[in-house]
Amino acid sequence: MKKACILLEDGFYQEGLSLGADSETIGEVVFNTSMSGYQEILTDASYKGQIVCMTYPLIGNYGVNPQDVESSRVRVDGFIIKERSRIVSSWRAEKSLEEYLKQNNIVGIDSVDTRAITKRIRAKGSMKGLISAVDFDTGSLKEKLERFPSIVGRDLVKEVVCRESYLWEEATQEEEPKEKPTGTVAVIDCGIKFSILRNLKNYFEKIIVLPAEASLDKILELNPQGILFSNGPGDPEPVSYAIELGRKVIERLRNKELKAAVMGICLGHQILGLALGGKTYKLKFGHHGGNHPVKDLKTGKIDITSQNHNFCLDIQTLPRDLEVTHINLYDKTPEGMCHKNLPLFSVQFHPEAGPGPFDARYIFGNFKKMADSLS
């Protein structure tokens, strides 16, 4: 096995074994606390620009298959694990994790101290990092890291969105729809996960996915019952075209020129918050994993949720006609909001999971109920 190394922005350096492409990569290093679901994590477009460190020590034991993907290709910029599984044991597996990373030209490293990396990020915050299987000169690596731009202020959405609109047909396989799906939902793609589309298909007859730069006229041509702003990567503030689209949608709702329910998930939640006049800030080390407790402030119910974001809406900047509906019980940050007068709400967590618990899937049912109430 070939040697590889990792260098963090604060000077942390460690050597391990190359996992995937024998090359080099730079990105923001974050840790994910999920015990499984590595394929969904690898293909989640929200991780564009980031190197993911898995806290669970053994990764790859059930291999890789064509079903457990959240986008058309691997999206992470690098992958860090403690130990690769030497065996692949699943009837669904078609290849190993290592083969998958190599085929997708993704640089990874294993046999490193992921606990030490995670503790550094928790103490000092997310930071840039570099994985290399070709250069082991710490001076050279440090220069590359210093030249690499921060994730703050970069528009990463444009690197992951669809270029043309398309119709989504597949529903979830875990449960049958309780009622026949009806109506159309327009999905604004900022880095959409397939699991979100599958869940929407349980409630809506037509799921039309449009690029984040789509015009409002294009959306209105679909006569949608619902409009959803999707998850996506990085800093929301540079995604000005999606924010402006959100403003136009909200203006039509206020003027009663549009009868549609509007929902945001993760980055879509932040985009709607910015469109309504709020501000965002960068969290110290973000929320990444499948075990985040979120409290519904209306019911008192606590859901264990899947999360993946590094930025957050600032509660103090939200206008008075917005109500915070959910909070994260780890750090009390806002996890959901609704408009007091308009058919609009959003959540910071991922109700579709993929990977993670299904506690919050009811959110899609709430979206459909809101849409139906406007008919």
One of 5, 53, 266, 338 is an active-site residue; which one? 266
Which residue out of 269, 288, 309, 350 is catalytically annotated? 350
Q: What is the pLDDT of residues 207-224, one digit of tens each?
A: 999 999 999 999 999 999
Mean pLDDT of 76-97: 96
H-helix segments, the chain: 38-42, 97-103, 114-124, 138-147, 194-201, 216-220, 240-254, 267-275, 362-373
Average pLDDT over residues 365-375: 95
CATH pick for 3-147 out of 3.50.30.20, 3.40.50.2300, 1.20.120.140, 3.40.50.1360: 3.50.30.20
Report pLDDT digits (tens) over 263-293.
Answer: 999 999 999 999 999 999 999 999 999 999 9
Q: Any idea which residue has 């669904």 for tokens? A: 92
Average pLDDT value for residue range 250-274: 97
Tell whether the model's pLDDT for residue 72 goes beyond 90.
yes
Residue 266 a catalytic site member: yes
Amino acid 171: pLDDT: 87
CA angle 277-247-375, nearest 5°? 120
Catalytic residue among 9, 28, 98, 352: 352
Phi, psi (rounded to 5 degrees) for 343: -80, 70
Domain positions in the chain: 3-147, 157-373
Q: Identify the DSSP state of 200.
A: H
pTM value > 0.75:
yes
Q: Is the pLDDT of residue 255 over 70?
A: yes
Alpha carbon distance 319, 301 (integer Å): 25
Q: How confident is the model at residue 74 (pLDDT cuts 50, 70, 90)?
A: very high
350 is catalytic: yes
Domain spanning 157-373: CATH superfamily: Class I glutamine amidotransferase (GATase) domain (3.40.50.880)
Give φ, ψ of 6 to 5 degrees: -130, 140
In the predicted structure, residue 176 carries a pLDDT above the cut 80:
no
